[in-house]
Structure 1
Amino acid sequence: MPALPRPAHGPGSRYTARAATTRTRPARHADVATLTRRLTDRDLWLAHLVHEHRVLTTHQVARLAYPSLRSAQRRLRDLHQHAVLDSFRPLTASGSAPEHYTLGPAGAALLAAHAGLDAAALGWRPTHTARIAYSPSLGHDLGVNELLTHLAAHARTTPEAGLPLWLSERSAARRWGDFIRPDAYAHYRDGDLLLPFFLEYDTGSQPLPRVEAKLTGYAAFLTATSTRPALLIHTRTASRDQALRRQLATAARELDLHVATSSTDYTTTDPWGPWWAPLEPAARRTTLAGLATQWPGLAPAAGLEPTDADTALTLPVPPLPPAPGAGS
């Protein structure tokens, strides 16, 4: 199967941002009460989503919530001006990167107020955006969000398909960190088929034996909880995909795990398509719906139900915005 073109920078490329430029805005911004009157339900959802997933590009936000890139850019600029969102633009080896959005100071105050918490409980600090912009994991985080925003946005054109649930690495660690620390957990639905899955987004930086060692944790989790999600491993290149398959096949079989792999060489814009190869002898690449059909015993992970310890900030954020309301 021919590989699709690879981007020159950003998610799926070999280049990781090494520095960033930030955009200025007025020194003063509206208080929480004023913001609450100005913001739409979609704006509040977006603040929650950016808090949950740390950083989203203009294109990722537009894909999920806006009819066009231009309309997304206009609203994101407004939210930046009101400090609901912060933004930066990574320096790239060539060309220019899109604007990257994180939670801003007013957005943090707003979310804390809506949850009845004090802002410190959010974990937000004035250095929040800088830490993300210069983080060595920025390329990894963007890659995870690129893959899953495509899956979530699929529902906008194909209503019977998409992601009804998407948990970030941080939310997954809060629930299952004693056993596993996946890069995301999600449910992909296509009609009556449901594929609950953990995601490992492999950038190629870890030795193959270290990736293999993670399978033991997933097997222990499944045994302890008597639940059975799949494990999807997504990597950067077809060659790394093949290397992972050779390394992991025996362990996946012995641990009785449902594992499938793919790479950015295939899944550039339609990761629900026939790009996923189960770690089984002579397995052919198939769609996410095809995986759900091949693995009828799959079941959602334990620990998804809300508990008394949950707040409005720890409950799952819907991957798509609420239906348009006044001013949205």
Structure 2
Amino acid sequence: MPSLPRPTVGPGSRYTARAATTRHRPHQHTDIATLAHRLTTRDLWLARMLHEHRVLTTPQIARLAHTSLRSAQRRLRVLHQHAVLDSFRPLTATGSAPEHYTLGPLGAALLSAHASLDTAALGWRPTHTGRIAYSPSLGHDLGVNDLLTHLAAHTHTTPTTGLSLWLSERSAARRWGDLIRPDAYAHYRDGDLLLPFFLEYDTGSQPLARVEAKLTGYAAFITTTNTRPALLIHTRTQSRDQALRRRLADTARELDLNVATSSADFTTTGPWGPWWAPLQPAARRTTLTDLAAQWPGLSPASGLEPTDADTALTLPVPPLPPAAQPEAGT
């Protein structure tokens, strides 16, 4: 099957970790109570998503929550003007990057108020956006979010299919960091079929031996928790994918892990499609739905139930916003 072209900019390409000048705000509200009545439930959902996943681009937000890129840009501009969101635009090796959105000062204050916390307890600082913009992991984080926003938004065209759960790297580490540190954990549903999976988003920067060593942790997780999610490994290129498959196949079989791999050469716009190859000899690429059918012994990870230690901001955020409502005034 022919591969799709890998993007030259954005997720899957190489970012230059440097931020352009932040857009000017003509005004901003400092009174949370005044601002609150202007926000929709979708706006509050987006603030929670940005707290959970740190950074989303305009196309990613539009994919999840809007009917068009233009409507997304219009609403995001309003939220930026009121400091609910911050934004930056990184420089890229070629072309230009889309606007990148993070949680702004008023957004952090709103979430803190909803959770009865102070802003410091939320983990937000005035340098929040700058740290993300200059982070060497920016391209990696955007790649993870791009892959999973495509899976979540699949529900818009196929209502019985998509993500019912999506945890960020930080949330996964809070739950299972003593054993594993995946880049994400998610549930992909297609009708009655469920594919619970951990995601390793491999950019090619780690030695193959280090990737292989992670499999021991996933085997320990299965043994310790008596649950069995799959492991999906997504790589930058098909050649890296083939190198990983050669290195990991024997180890995955010995540890009795359900592992499938793919690369950005295939999954650019339809990561649910027939791009995933189980780690076994002569395996054909197949869909996420078929993986769920091939691996009937899968079960969701433990540690997903709410506990007394949870707050409104540590519970999972729905991958899609609540039903649309009219947008409040600007």
The count of residues paired between Structure 1 and Structure 2 equals 327
**Cα deviation 1:145-173 (Å, max 9, x = unaligned):** 00000000000110000000000000000
Distance 2:28 2:146 in 1: 33
Distance 1:297 1:93 in 2: 44
Alignment match, 1:110: 110
The reply to whether residue 313 of structure 1 matches residue 313 of structure 2 is: yes
Q: Which amino acid aligns with 2:142?
A: L
**Cα deviation 1:78-103 (Å, max 9, x = unaligned):** 00000000000011122211000000
Alignment match, 2:78: 78
Distance 1:233 1:4 in 2: 18
**Cα deviation 1:283-317 (Å, max 9, x = unaligned):** 11100001001100000000000000000100000
Residue correspondence of structure 1 range 214-225 to structure 2 within 5 A: 214-225=214-225
Distance 1:93 1:283 in 2: 36
Alignment match, 2:284: 284
Distance 1:104 1:235 in 2: 32
Alignment match, 2:296: 296
Distance 2:16 2:55 in 1: 13
Residue correspondence of structure 1 range 46-195 to structure 2 within 5 A: 46-195=46-195
Q: Which amino acid aligns with 1:242?
A: Q
Alignment match, 1:18: 17
Residue correspondence of structure 1 range 229-308 to structure 2 within 5 A: 229-308=229-308
Unaligned runs of 5+ in 2: none
Query: TM-score with structure 2 length normalisation?
Result: 0.98
Distance 1:172 1:240 in 2: 25
Distance 1:215 1:235, change over 3 A: same
In the alignment, is the contact (CA less than 8 A) between 1:261 and 1:278 conserved in 2? Answer: yes
Q: List structure 1 segments (4+ residues) > 4 angstroms apart after TM superposition.
A: none
Q: Which moved more, 1:92-101 or 1:107-116?
A: 92-101
Distance 1:318 1:273 in 2: 23
Q: Give, in angstroms, the shift of residue 24 of structure 1.
A: 1.7
- Percentage identity across aligned positions? 81
In the alignment, is the contact (CA less than 8 A) between 2:15 and 2:90 conserved in 1? Answer: no
Question: Over aligned residue pairs, what C-alpha RMSD do you find?
Answer: 0.9
In the alignment, is the contact (CA less than 8 A) between 2:275 and 2:286 conserved in 1? Answer: yes
In the alignment, is the contact (CA less than 8 A) between 1:232 and 1:260 conserved in 2? Answer: yes
In the alignment, is the contact (CA less than 8 A) between 1:4 and 1:266 conserved in 2? Answer: yes
Q: Which moved more, 1:280-289 or 1:96-105?
A: 280-289
Distance 1:19 1:59 in 2: 20
**Cα deviation 1:21-51 (Å, max 9, x = unaligned):** 1212146433211121110000000000011
Q: Which amino acid aligns with 2:218?
A: Y
Q: Which amino acid aligns with 2:228?
A: R
Alignment match, 2:34: 34
Distance 2:136 2:56 in 1: 16
SS at match of 1:172: helix
Q: Give, in angstroms, the shift of residue 18 of structure 1.
A: 2.4
Distance 2:237 2:34 in 1: 48
Query: TM-score with structure 1 length normalisation?
Result: 0.98
In the alignment, is the contact (CA less than 8 A) between 2:27 and 2:82 conserved in 1? Answer: no
**Cα deviation 1:171-203 (Å, max 9, x = unaligned):** 000000000000000000011110000000000
